[in-house]
Structure 1
């Protein structure tokens, strides 16, 4: 299988292979989220662990429990995003899961094997689940 992909290399290989290389990653699944930089106005793409939920995709703005990730700050400024799942390209509107939705969606994301509960325990902020509603 080779060396695990990270960062820009992950994005590049995912794009080049329509997710054939990069969608299935370390026992889970990854999509590419493209946001518009809140300061630069430049499009930025991030590989993120996801789960499907109805007609939407779920991602978690955890950053390992550290500060909110840049992609999350960007979508708060401009919730219009692009999503690539394997070879499928979508436009979407991002929103933070409501307090009512979050417990169920958090359980779904924890099922990926990512230690989100541990990240939350170490965070000094509430880690949001982001719902990417396809448009």
Structure 2
């Protein structure tokens, strides 16, 4: 099997700026990012209890939405994932539509199939996994 190839994304729209532009435009700006589709995930801060919104690449598996807690291959889980672990109730925004969801981490049995879906829409996930010793969580967001 060949080594995964990293494709550097354009980082002109990231973080809080990405979230703000997406919200301001109902997703007209920011929904498509480097060829991938983006949703906004709003979690409840596990320490503050305040809403926290992140722009994340996503895919679909039937009625469910899939996001990957990669943090680019960092050694620690991203804050949004820790927030979902503490409180799995959240909201997503896709373009102008908002949907309440319940989050869960993919089981070891379903992870290989879902990981294959995720790397179809963002091949860099395979590279990110090589950068860290943690198993990068794949999160299933089910409409609630």
Separation (CA, whole Å) in 2 of partners of 1:22 and 1:114: 19
Shift of 1:113: 3.0
Q: Which runs of 4+ in 1 moved over 6 A?
A: none
- Alignment partner, residue 128 of structure 1: 137
1:112 aligned to 101, 118, 121, which one? 121
Query: What is the TM-score normalised by the length of structure 1?
Result: 0.95
Separation (CA, whole Å) in 1 of partners of 2:123 and 2:31: 15
Query: What is the TM-score normalised by the length of structure 2?
Result: 0.89
1:33 aligned to 27, 41, 48, which one? 41
Shift of 1:75: 0.4
Unaligned ranges ≥5, structure 2: 1-10
- Alignment partner, residue 86 of structure 1: 95
Shift of 1:87: 1.1
Unaligned ranges ≥5, structure 1: none
Separation (CA, whole Å) in 2 of partners of 1:5 and 1:64: 16
